Structure 1
Amino acid sequence: MPVLEPGVAMPQTIVSPAKVFVPKHAAGMRFELRSCVTSEQKSCTVRVVLGSIMLPQSFQRIITCTGNVNCSLALDSPPWEKWLQIMVESLGVLVLAVLTPLLFCFTACRPGSTSSFLNFSSLNQSQAGPRPGSTGAAGSSTLPTGASRNVSNKRSFCLQNQPVVREDLDVVSVRYRLLNGPSVPVHSVSPTLLLLNLNTGMDSGGSLVVSLLLNKVLGNATVVACVSAASPVLSLTATQNCSTAFFQGYPLSVSTSSAEAMLIVLYPQTDDWFLSLQLICPKGQGECNTAEAKVTVFAYLTPCFNDCGPYGQCSLLRRHGYLYAGCSCKAGWGGWSCTDDTKAQSVGAQNLATLLLTLSNLMFLPAIAVAIYRYYLVEASVYTYTMFFSTFYHACDQPGVAVMCIMDYDTLQYCDFLGSVVSIWVTILCMSRVKKILKYVLFILGTLLIAMSLQLDRRGVWNMMGPCLFALVIMIAAWVYHGVKRRHCYPSSWKRWVFYLLPGITLAFIAISVYAFMETNENYYYTHSIWHVLVACSVAFLLPPRDKHKKPWAWSQKLTCRYQICQNDREELYAVT
């Protein structure tokens, strides 16, 4: 790809694009196309596209040049230290067009007290001298020393730089600290410029926040600011739209009537960002031209603005090597920082949802009572564990005001998931009526494997489906074994099937259907509460009856005090001396 030099006229064909490098502190650039002829010496019509063809058309500058008419384009604030691509397309007959000449010139803006607006032209002054009306060429002796000093003294500085230090705090979390203090001086003669470096390649997934606070100003003057990428806006006025050559910036302003202003740029592009500030004086207030305003600037990059507030949670997402941050909103709230209350739930609805999700776990109390009455103490302990952590997990999981966390949220969630799966595991194994030693071994081994599986993938589908299917296989095998051994259907009592097993299985299937097919984010509070009630009730129906050789607990019998003759069946041996 040919490289164009500033100030050097270069013939260029439409076969391939060209490029030119924009130097630092370039305040403006000018493109000229003086003629367009074909190989047959006929006039032609071409379209010139400045800017990358990979970007949207809104980030490009397009001009149409016809015949021998002088075609030019002037751009303010081109992107600093970037390659600018020039593509020429023929709009007429498909012939080879030659452009003579293709000329670029840059107007430089150097900060400091000894530099002003200068014109960058070719270092070879014999080919292209300074343009009419320019102040001279950088590095040349076009103007005498005394004349250069006079021009510099008469014209104001191009800009005032303020040193800024970038401090990396965390992932997608950066703070910018001004070395001269949080307050910066702002004048009306030249803009004050702050560089916000977001060029590390890992800063595009957060939110850039710029906050301005006006501390001191004269009269009705206004401080106008502009945040832009790639290049700063060096000419700020009350009617300036805060736009650069190829990008649209973000305007801000502070005054005595509105002393604070804040800007949030979501997912800023990876580039050097600039904050330009300038004092704008109203008409008829001459003393304002020499005045100075003080503005406190706070600038930082955060994953989520305001940490998503009370109705959201900030989450990081890494996909294909890119890191993004975003808010996960709850209770009907929306927006980038969960501040949109268009579909938000009221405080009463939040309290109702919390009560439904927490109090529905009390339906485990009948299951716990049945398990204790039938001497299933291990199962009763598991149900108690599940009821406790499910209650407080859902109390902590709610957004807004209706929330209460007794311990870390992640711990409560893990314990809730673990208790739910283990409860199903021990219930089905208890229904299989295997030997006690085998049942308790399966209890412990299954619980350990479930805990490991949840640690690997807490929301995996097979965390619940796997133990359920395996326990059902064990139960069916045990029931078939008992039926073959007794030569009768197992369980043998029709009352057991009609009044216990069938209602329990029906409730369990309804609960699974509600959980898998009906639960959404909108009806989560109701459907999940129904899931709690149905599962707890099904457990109370599905628990097998008490063993026949075991009597009810002592408190269910009438206590009597009397002497009994105890017989010791153990045979003891004594040594006879």
Structure 2
Amino acid sequence: MLFNTDKEVTFVSELSTKPAQKLSKYSWYGNVRLQRFHIPEETAIARWLFSVNKVSTFPCGTNNVTIYLRWGAPPVVSLKGSIFPNSTLWSPSLSLTLPVASQNSTTVNLTYPSAGDWYVAAHLPEDDGRIEQKGFPSCSYVFQPQLSIRRAVDVPILQQGALLQQTATPEKPSLFLSVFRLYVPEFVSSLSVSVADCSSSLSGSDDGDCPLILKLGSSAPLQHSQVTVNCSGTGCSAVLLHPPWDTWLRVVVESNQDNRTVNFSIASYSTGDSRRFYLPSVSVPAPSPGCLWNVPVLYEEADVLSLRYSPVKGPNVNVTDTHPTLLSYPLPTQATGGTLNLQLTINAVSMSGTVCYRIKDPPCVFCADFSAGYRLVVNASVPKAVLRLPFPQSATWYLTLQLIYNSESRGPTVVQVAPEVSVSACVDDCGTYGECRLLRSYSYLYSACVCKAGWDGWGCTDGSKAQSYLHQVTATLLLTLSNLFFLPVIVVAIKRYYFTEASVYLFTMFFSTFYHACDQPGVAVACIMDYDTLQYCDFLGSVCCIWVTILCMARIRDLFKYSLFMLGTLLIAMSMQLDRKGLWNLLGPVLCALVIMVTAWVYRGLRRNQCYPPGWRRWVFFLLPGITCALIGICLYVFGGTEKNYYYTHSLWHILMASCVVFLLWALSWKPRVCGYTLCENGKDELYTVT
């Protein structure tokens, strides 16, 4: 049924779809796929459709996708056993698990959701630590959320104390009977909506019953933010304590019987209005009947995800034992991706100061209900208290302070408290074993900690699986000193007069050594230059090392060989800049070089009418061992690497690759003719010798 009013409420539907995103296994918050939706005012129903599809043909079995939903700020993802830093509190989000084999979808419905930004996050199960090479087949899933809403247009406004007569008839069936808007001004301690003179009739007969359901507020996201009352008799009232200030609330009246005509009147009232007073900075305030003292607060934006709040009249705030002191902190949307920090310091003895920190709705009766707030106590023994809230919701936060004496002996009636409120990117900058990183979802910025050296937790404070200092030093030495196996390679190359190749091997050894010395996750780190430069040179040198070695084995003319050296190096440098960890950066040069080598070998074999290279000793003692080392190293690099054994497997990869080049270069041994004191050109195609 739809109530017949002077101005009938109309409902419209809207649809919002976000692009599909590839899901990742969870190891830190950067693996979470975050999407932001906006729900307008007067939304009656919000329905999310979450779809997950497998996009790879690789057999994967069934994987569970975890989805989070939260109003006002991104969800705080806390897997089982996650540890948060001290004095850090967080509120859980609505979450669900979606099992996916090939594709699956689910819906989430919210009735009368709070207006504003809603955040959806999704990720695959926790990472198992296996290192997957980019470009190889793997299990890939994409996640796409979709939001459809139904909102009311031209909603009538309930004026305070003014009765609004309503009549409901069964002519137009509808889920929502009547929707109203109600404005809550500042300094209101409680709000009530009353339904009176309610009567219902069936086929012209009046039974005197009132089959109505009265709902005040939103169903999400705050606890106790909605009050629901089943009316009986001729009327009922819904009372909302500590309503959010300076905002609009929704009032919904529904009927539990569809075949009756209902007549009633509705009105709203605000009770216990608070009178605000500006608290002087030094002098003791005079008694007044006001409920609280209001202290103006300013804030400045220092950087991305960095806000600093400060009271107008100085850092210290006077707190009394007669009236609560109120400070309001508006938190904009662009700051919700950081951490809200509160530190309180009391400058007095023999008394206790109690703090109530709440979102949207400060209590006039001081700290009467902490269900939607946080409580801090500072006193003579504990003069400082700290509270940190990751991903705080976008709203006005209220800090309420009051002086309380624990004994009969009373001290001064006013003390000074220094509230320090700020927004920072991460909690304590992620500590010693963490790095605070700035993330982006389209135009929205947020931050998270990525932990190192086995440390874990939201702020990288969980050291239960941390690596010891000896373990970190051992790992660094293994990864760096294993590159010294390229010294024999350089010696052999110089001995065989492959000076260009030797310079490439020297370049590779140098930058691989110092890249791995800089790439370590713990404190055993040494960086001689920028990390990105070291990584680029290491990757470039590794691929060029393979490129020149295979071309050297092709035994083509020097003019062609050195031209291919230069051309290939330039193309490899370009591809490294485009996608440094791409599969084809390595596979492309290797295949091209192999094609050139095989073509040269086949040409020589056909021209000589014999197998090339000739000689079984060369194959048995040099070529086959070199190829075996290369195959073992590639298999170990691609399939055997995990985060736990990376130090050992990658060090063995260095050794195997260096051994492979030694065997292959030794197989190409040749001795030039010497004419006096000059080196003469050898006119033969090749002079293979086995030494």
- Which TM-score applies when normalising by structure 2? 0.68
Aligned partner of 1:52 among 201, 214, 218: 218
Correspondence 1:207 to 2:369: no
The residue identity in structure 2 corresponding to 1:211 is: Q
Distance 1:162 1:155, change over 3 A: closer
Distance 2:488 2:345 in 1: 62
Distance 2:543 2:215 in 1: 63
Give 1:90's aligned residue: 255
In the alignment, structure 1 segments of 5+ residues that lack a partner are 115-151, 555-563, 569-577
Aligned partner of 1:440 among 562, 571, 581: 562
| 2:227–2:239 contact (8 Å) kept in structure 1 | no
Distance 2:579 2:613 in 1: 37
Distance 1:8 1:497, change over 3 A: farther
More helix by share: 1
Correspondence 1:352 to 2:474: yes
Distance 2:363 2:580 in 1: 51
Distance 1:360 1:565, change over 3 A: closer
Distance 1:15 1:392, change over 3 A: same
Give 2:548's aligned residue: 426
Aligned partner of 1:78 among 243, 260, 277: 243
Give 1:411's aligned residue: 533
Distance 1:92 1:283 in 2: 58
TM superposition shift of 1:477? 2.6
| 1:33–1:103 contact (8 Å) kept in structure 2 | no
Distance 1:218 1:359, change over 3 A: same
Distance 1:202 1:94, change over 3 A: farther
TM superposition shift of 1:335? 1.0
TM superposition shift of 1:508? 1.8
Correspondence 1:166 to 2:320: no
Correspondence 1:37 to 2:199: yes
| 2:625–2:663 contact (8 Å) kept in structure 1 | yes
Distance 1:477 1:222 in 2: 87
- Larger RCO of the pair (alpha carbons < 8 Å, separation 6+): 2
Find the structure with the greater CA-based Rg.
1
Distance 2:239 2:233 in 1: 19
Give 1:266's aligned residue: 390
Aligned partner of 2:653 among 531, 538, 546: 531
The 3-state SS of whatever aligns with 2:633 is helix
Distance 1:196 1:497 in 2: 77
Distance 2:222 2:542 in 1: 55
Aligned partner of 1:496 among 618, 643, 651: 618
TM superposition shift of 1:211? 1.4
Give 2:455's aligned residue: 333
Distance 1:11 1:198 in 2: 39
| 2:178–2:254 contact (8 Å) kept in structure 1 | no
TM superposition shift of 1:338? 0.4
Aligned partner of 1:64 among 217, 229, 233: 229
Q: How many residues align?
A: 508
State, as a whole percentage, how many aligned pairs show the same letter.
46
TM superposition shift of 1:56? 4.7
Give 1:463's aligned residue: 585
The 3-state SS of whatever aligns with 1:528 is helix
TM superposition shift of 1:234? 3.6
Distance 1:230 1:81 in 2: 9
Q: CA RMSD in A?
A: 2.9
Correspondence 1:242 to 2:370: yes
Distance 1:278 1:93, change over 3 A: same
| 1:206–1:302 contact (8 Å) kept in structure 2 | yes
The 3-state SS of whatever aligns with 1:353 is helix
| 1:49–1:60 contact (8 Å) kept in structure 2 | no
Aligned residue runs from structure 1 range 263-412, under 5 A: 263-285=387-409, 287-288=410-411, 291-412=413-534
In the alignment, structure 2 segments of 5+ residues that lack a partner are 1-154, 169-175, 280-284, 681-691
Distance 1:97 1:112, change over 3 A: same
Give 2:179's aligned residue: 17
| 1:241–1:251 contact (8 Å) kept in structure 2 | no
| 1:11–1:102 contact (8 Å) kept in structure 2 | no
Distance 1:242 1:113, change over 3 A: same
Distance 2:260 2:225 in 1: 25
Distance 2:677 2:313 in 1: 98
Distance 1:241 1:100, change over 3 A: closer
Distance 1:494 1:223, change over 3 A: same
The residue identity in structure 1 corresponding to 2:314 is: G
The 3-state SS of whatever aligns with 1:293 is strand
Distance 1:431 1:565 in 2: 28
Residue by residue over 1:316-364, the C-alpha shift from the partner in whole angstroms, topping out at 9 and shown as x without a partner, is 2212433221111122111111001122222222222222222222222
Give 1:256's aligned residue: 380
The 3-state SS of whatever aligns with 1:468 is helix
Give 1:227's aligned residue: 357
Residue by residue over 1:276-308, the C-alpha shift from the partner in whole angstroms, topping out at 9 and shown as x without a partner, is 2222222523x34x5222222222212212221
Distance 2:286 2:312 in 1: 28
The residue identity in structure 1 corresponding to 2:381 is: S
| 2:338–2:446 contact (8 Å) kept in structure 1 | yes
Residue by residue over 1:465-511, the C-alpha shift from the partner in whole angstroms, topping out at 9 and shown as x without a partner, is 23223322332233233333333322223222222222222222222
| 2:188–2:270 contact (8 Å) kept in structure 1 | no
Aligned partner of 2:328 among 170, 181, 195: 195
| 1:207–1:265 contact (8 Å) kept in structure 2 | yes
Give 2:189's aligned residue: 27
| 1:310–1:399 contact (8 Å) kept in structure 2 | no
Distance 1:57 1:275, change over 3 A: closer
Distance 1:445 1:113, change over 3 A: closer
Residue by residue over 1:230-267, the C-alpha shift from the partner in whole angstroms, topping out at 9 and shown as x without a partner, is 23344335xx4534xxxx22222211111221111111
| 1:32–1:73 contact (8 Å) kept in structure 2 | yes
| 1:26–1:77 contact (8 Å) kept in structure 2 | yes
The 3-state SS of whatever aligns with 1:543 is helix
The residue identity in structure 1 corresponding to 2:156 is: P
Distance 1:481 1:97 in 2: 98
Tell me which moved more, 254-263 or 20-29: 20-29
Distance 1:299 1:425, change over 3 A: farther
Distance 1:491 1:57, change over 3 A: same
Give 1:520's aligned residue: 642
Distance 1:516 1:50, change over 3 A: farther
Aligned partner of 2:313 among 168, 174, 180: 180
Correspondence 1:3 to 2:157: yes
| 2:321–2:404 contact (8 Å) kept in structure 1 | yes
The residue identity in structure 1 corresponding to 2:504 is: V
Give 1:124's aligned residue: none
Distance 1:339 1:393 in 2: 27
Give 1:118's aligned residue: none
- Which TM-score applies when normalising by structure 1? 0.80
Distance 1:379 1:565 in 2: 25
